[in-house]
Amino acid sequence: MSASEIVLTAAGDARVTWHRARGARGVVALSHGAGGGIEARDLQALAAVLPSRGVTVALVEQPWRVAGKRMAPAPKALDAAWREVWPALAKPGLAVVAGGRSAGARVACRTAGELGAAGVLALAFPLHPPGRPEKSRADELLGAGVPTLVVQGGRDPFGRPEEFPAGVEPVTVPYGDHGFAVPKTADITQDNALALLTDAVTRWLEGVLP
């Protein structure tokens, strides 16, 4: 069962969709990327799996997405809205892991330290724009200041696992693209790929959440 909550921010309404675990030991708060919403396959897979493993999942929709806009605002605006949503995420009184996919992962990295996040879960982190490896965003990952897990598709044009700097060891989803989609010709199925992702996150959370 899921339940939605509207959170007022200076940029407009944000929406949190809760997938609660019975007797939860922590919360994983996940936001979407700049090109999609919380319907992304990786976010939905985690929302389906983690509650049965004792972790509540909060899927956060940024105000621009709730308002039906097509284009995400500048990073500073995304960070500001995330900060305003954070008290609602922390309200259950549990440790909160900040995370998201793509642009949402960047927001989590930039704000984790100041907000007191227990860790950062970075899904499909956009290490650089496609074809522009010189425009690295590695400093955001390295500067998160809390335990960080990166899960990356093996053929993600925004940064393949082997492109990440020393000190960052992504979990690789073989054949996965930026949305963790795997081609039908791959030797793993889409379900296999998502199970690899959710299992890796579950194992990591065991060491992060009390």
The widest CA-to-CA distance across the chain, in whole angstroms, is: 47
Q: What is the pLDDT of residue 1?
A: 67
Kindly report, residue by residue over 127-159, the tens digit of the pLDDT.
999 999 999 999 999 999 999 999 999 999 999
* Overall residue count recorded for the chain in this entry: 210
Kindly report, residue by residue over 56-100, the tens digit of the pLDDT.
999 999 999 999 999 999 999 999 999 999 999 999 999 999 999
Domain segments of the chain as ranges:
2-208
Kindly report, residue by residue over 39-50, the tens digit of the pLDDT.
999 999 999 999
Q: What is the pLDDT of residue 210?
A: 77
- Is the CATH code 3.40.50.1820 the one for domain 2-208? yes
Amino acid at 132: R
